[in-house]
Structure 1
């Protein structure tokens, strides 16, 4: 059954198009993505030694290459819904195959993988139970599904600042952590780890934050977002509202990250 918040999540075609456009700029501003994926790699069970792994939502292939280096004897598959990202990743190598595919309906055969790794992609999927069901399907017994995602609390400073300005949806919506708990526990996979960690980035000004979100392809993709240009008065009001959060290091942007490690029994 889809999440109750499905209608509030972005259309996957818009997600694919947005990230395809960001392929050439993504790596230059992906500090958070590298840190989160690196942490997810650290959480993999020490005995993990896959013969075949899948990097799901592989983006530019940064962790495709990291997995290839970590498991040099294994065969790797890179899967992403954004063709622009796949083209970019394919040029860098690291996987045996680069495949266009939807996490909710993977173009992979049953029981073909020992490790399904997915960092900061699941939050764009409306049907999390379907994603977990696909993970269970393509994993062999004993196989590991590890993912990182984002939940409510992410970009809270930006959301609150916009709420002080108008009633439109300007910040991407994310699931509650409780929904991740519910769906993981009901997935038929054994939950080895499931936790949240906050990561806070700092920016000198609001323009730097919004520029990074656009370069990542992760700017506002939600239904209910405003059409057209934002008026100057609203921008000034937003800047004033966000300045209330300023810290000595700069303007904070909090990302509430979900880490999950599951095993097929």
Structure 2
């Protein structure tokens, strides 16, 4: 379960199953979905790497004793962090055991922990940097994520995260709405909610903005295949059960064609970038 059994940063905690908001996925389903996707994830993770690279460029230059890759996935950015901070100790944490099992042999972090961003199994003031790229959008209680980040950060430490907000995959959402009006696309928090929650967190907001990132696909099947390979297919409550009929798929294809551009069918991701700092004296 963990490589950190004798490390000073590990905190003994009771595993909790938080009750998610009704409009967000159950975190157990999130963990299972991403565990299944571990082997295929990196092959289709262009968005994740572009977003994580942008987030990395926004972090202030600093000397670190220890960093945390929160929602570390296959460990790609754990390895980047290890290169950027070669004299620091790295901790990779993810809710999906399958991702940790995939990442561990590839290296990057010194420690791999199965854990929940809403209840971090780390000691107070134990890390100087928390890096989290495209993970916290799956957390229903983002106020707890911020509270935990503040708790485990050392004074002056930085929490940099990239997440998704309302407007993500609106082309797919609107196309499905035209077909049957049901929930087929993951729902995300509004950008205004991120602004309010960060303002109320007790952390200093160094930067917080949203940028669209648009990918293009030759056809709908290519998009939905990638979402499944990433583990980011529809896991919302209220999603339709059973197989999707051929007639409905054809109707979806026809509706999505209305969005076609010269480069192909667009899929827009509204990406929230934030850099927060824990006050030096609290």
The TM-score bracket by the shorter chain reads over 0.9
Residue 29 of structure 2 corresponds to which residue in structure 1?
Answer: 14
Q: CA deviation at 1:112?
A: 0.2
- 2-structure distance, mates of 1:239, 1:49: 51
* 2:111 counterpart of 1:90: no
TM-score, structure 2 as length reference: 0.91
Residue 151 of structure 1 corresponds to which residue in structure 2?
Answer: 165
* 2:228 counterpart of 1:214: yes
- 2-structure distance, mates of 1:41, 1:160: 32
Q: Deviations over 1:216-249 (max 9, x none)?
A: 0000000000001001111111000000000010
Q: Deviations over 1:18-52 (max 9, x none)?
A: 00000000000000000000000000013x22110
- 2-structure distance, mates of 1:212, 1:230: 17
| Unaligned residue ranges in structure 1 (runs of 5+) | none
Q: Deviations over 1:113-136 (max 9, x none)?
A: 000000000000000000000000
- 2-structure distance, mates of 1:6, 1:187: 19
Root mean square deviation of aligned Cα = 0.7
* 2:240 counterpart of 1:233: no
- 1-structure distance, mates of 2:63, 2:132: 17
TM-score, structure 1 as length reference: 0.97
Residue 163 of structure 1 corresponds to which residue in structure 2?
Answer: 177
Q: Deviations over 1:124-180 (max 9, x none)?
A: 000000000000000000000000000001000000000000121000000000000
| Unaligned residue ranges in structure 2 (runs of 5+) | 1-19
Q: Secondary structure at the match of 1:17?
A: helix
Residue 53 of structure 2 corresponds to which residue in structure 1?
Answer: 38
Q: Secondary structure at the match of 1:25?
A: helix
Residue 101 of structure 1 corresponds to which residue in structure 2?
Answer: 115
Q: Counterparts in 2 of 1:177-256, with a 5 A limit? A: 177-256=191-270
